[in-house]
Amino acid sequence: MMSKKPLVRDDLNILKGYHSPQLDVPVKLNTNESPFSLPDGFLEELSSALEKLDLNRYPKRDANELCLSIAERESLNEKQVFAANGSNEIIQSIFLAFGGHNRSVLIFEPTYAMHSQIAKITGTRVVSGLREIDFQVNADAALRLIDKEKPEIVFLCSPNNPTGNLESEALIKSILAKLNDSGGLLVLDEAYKEFANQSLSLTVDEGSNLIFLRTFSKVWKLAGIRLGYLLAPEWCIDEIKNVSLPYHLDSIKQKAGVLALKHENEMLAQLENVKEEKNRVYENLLDFSVNVWPSEANFLLFKPNEIDGYKLWSDLFEKGVLVRDCSSWEGLEGCLRVTIGNPEENTRFLEALQEILNNG
């Protein structure tokens, strides 16, 4: 006799998992990874370091060496840093600590899908504010929405994924002032910070409710390691630690992060190359039958004028080029996003796109 299967929570029945296709094609430009290999000697140095680890023992629970290395780079103290298995684990921890039942988060769509996805998984109500036609957040509308909904958490992504635009410092400060008064938390997701040509003057302040998400998955070339970190006041880090699992960050990740920071110059060496390639791809797209938006990240959002977005995605895939299909996302109807790869990959993308559009 078959047993009766347990049911998932009612609020999870409508959820679909986050998926970015992992398909075997020659040119993969859909997940915003670095196209460049790790610096010479890094893997050998990591391998040597791993031989000295006692992998039969649990990892350092607070990842002290890694957090201290990050803190020194960011001019903070070790207690203002929390490291985890990618920024997604940190997002989940934020919701576990400050979200949940009868609490809400304000997110401005379109933006990184995992903000709302993880919110829903943790039972946090999602309030969606809509960006304007240029994908900017209207400050007055945002403040009115905060007054109305009184969210416990607000997420801003800068540069925003998948649109590539920066949030202005004036916007961030105005929202932060409101949340400092109401007791809300402002989370600034800066996964693509290094690619931007502008930087913020804002930093961690023990008297402020602003916290910063960063990752080793992009410019640091460690997407396969899954390592991210949070910069926040000590009181916030303490609450995040209270909801994190014991020994959640393994010894290998901790050592890889420490070594990456020691190789910072080599890790960031191709940053200008990525920016130059992004500009080249952008300028070429301006001559195609597409709309393309400026970007401060390592990707470009574009929309074909004379062909369906999903059809174009499929045609590119048939030519061995994989980009991100955003065509069915609310606010991005018909749009695709292409990661900036190495020069050869970018050229193959442009040639395939031009051929498809010319024959369309």
Q: What is the pLDDT of residues 91-137, one digit of tens each?
A: 999 999 999 999 999 999 999 999 999 999 999 999 999 999 999 99
Q: Are residues 201 and 279 in the same domain?
A: no
DSSP letter at 17 equals -
Give domain status of residue 202, yes or no.
yes
Q: At residue 8, does pLDDT exceed 90? A: no
- Residues 112, 242 within the same domain: yes
Q: Are residues 229 and 276 in the same domain?
A: no
Q: Do 148 and 100 lie in a common domain? A: yes
Report if residue 305 sits inside a domain: yes
Is position 6 within any domain?
no
**Cβ proximity of 184 and 151 under 8 Å:** yes
The residue out of 264, 298, 322 marking a domain boundary is 264
Domain count, the chain: 2
Instruction: State mean pLDDT over 77-86.
Output: 98
What percent of the chain lies above the pLDDT cut of 90?
91
How far from the centroid of its chain's Cα atoms is residue 360's Cα? 34
Q: Residue 282 pLDDT > 80, yes or no? A: yes
pLDDT (0 to 100) of residue 14? 67
pLDDT score, position 18: 57
Q: 254 and 295, same structural domain?
A: no
| Among candidate residues 264, 299, 327, the one where a domain is terminated | 264
The dihedral of CA 144, 145, 151, 153: what is its sign?
A: negative
Q: Which one, of 159, 160, 145, 162, lies nearest residue 104 by Cα?
A: 145
* Alpha carbons 256 and 268: distance in angstroms, whole number: 16
pLDDT at res. 3: 84
176 with 275, same domain: the answer is no
Residue 211 has pLDDT above 80, yes or no: yes
Asked whether the beta carbons of 336 and 309 are under 8 A apart, the reply is yes
**Tens digits of per-residue pLDDT, 146-202?**
999 999 999 999 999 999 999 999 999 999 999 999 999 999 999 999 999 988 899
- Read out DSSP for 20-79? ------SEEESS----SPPPTTHHHHHHHHHHTS-TTSPPPTT-HHHHHHHHHHHT--GG
Query: Is residue 5 domain-resident?
Result: no
Same domain, 256 and 290: no
Over residues 9-40, the pLDDT tens digits come to 888 776 676 566 677 889 999 999 999 999 99
Q: Rounded to an integer, what is the distance from CA 126 to the centroid of its chain?
A: 18
Q: Which domain holds residue 349?
A: 17-36+270-359
Grade residue 359 by pLDDT with cuts at 50, 70 and 90: confident
CATH assignment of the domain containing 338: 3.90.1150.10
Q: Which of helix, strand or coil describes residue 101?
A: coil
Q: In what side-by-side order are the strands of the sheet with 336-339?
A: 27-29, 321-325, 336-339, 299-304, 290-292
Q: Residue 256 is which amino acid?
A: A
- Tell me how crowded residue 309 is: count the other CB atoms within 10 A of its CB: 19
Average pLDDT in the 259-275 region? 94
Radius of gyration of the chain from its Cα atoms, rounded to whole angstroms: 21
Q: Is the omega angle on the peptide bond into residue 162 within 30 degrees of 0, that is, cis?
A: yes
pLDDT digit string, tens, across residues 311-330: 999 999 999 999 999 999 99
Spatial separation of the C-alpha atoms in residues 213 and 192, rounded to whole Å: 10
Give the mean pLDDT of the chain: 95
Axis-axis angle for helices 343-359, 271-286 (nearest 10): 10
